[in-house]
Structure 1
């Protein structure tokens, strides 16, 4: 089923980039740096942060801040949650079904 949370392009890019980068929950949790995710998705800091907030509200991503000696040296880490992975898989399956050839004899 098309997931209305993931469907907007920027959120789809975020979830896909996290999954492709292996930043997912699993037997070993892995994260991706905010700055790396920003570079991959080609989004501004503000846009990425806003879209991550929406995904986080729905339980699709989690993030945590590793504090440095100054705020500028803080590192934000992002992970696609299991719920986010399931939602992404369902969304991609739905898109693939729409893209398959259809019998137009009806």
Structure 2
């Protein structure tokens, strides 16, 4: 028992130093753990949607589908999850007689993407420092 307590104490200063080193990255959240990643954005297709919308003002459903090389159903499900989280908006309209669906990134979605990217950068820096 005493041995385990001594081992725990030896490991704690290293973790605290890592956390302190990561505080300089936009905010004070503990980015040293991969488990703290935003799981909503971390999924490959949802990250693709948010990233594509971050560099484009708006994209139609078909543009996103082609860009991400996915199916209608897959894109629809993942876009709905992002819309429910208020990361993107969905606007449906007609272009003549053709129905169109257009997506845009919200301010909350942009902030979430920035936090996610900061977190990933911090994880990479921490891993490289070891």
| Shorter-chain TM-score tier | 0.7 to 0.9
TM-score by length of 2: 0.66
Partner of 2:113: 88
Aligned residue pairs, count = 93
Determine which structure has more spread, i.e. the larger CA radius of gyration. Answer: 2
CA distance in 2, matches of 1:33, 1:4: 24
Q: Any unmatched runs of 5+ in structure 2?
A: 1-30, 32-36
CA distance in 2, matches of 1:75, 1:48: 15
| Cα RMSD for the two superposed structures | 1.4
TM-score by length of 1: 0.80
Q: Answer yes or no: is 1:53 the counterpart of 2:80.
A: yes
CA distance in 1, matches of 2:64, 2:76: 11
Partner of 1:74: 99
Partner of 1:28: none
Q: Any unmatched runs of 5+ in structure 1?
A: 24-30
**Runs of 4+ with >2 A deviation:** 67-70
Give per-residue Cα distances to partners, 1:60-90, cap 9 Å, x unaligned: 00011113565xx201010010000000010
CA distance in 2, matches of 1:41, 1:90: 22
**Superposed, which structure 2 residues align to 1:1-106 within 5 Å?**
2-21=37-56, 23=57, 31-68=58-95, 73-100=98-125, 101-102=128-129, 104=130
More helix per residue: 2
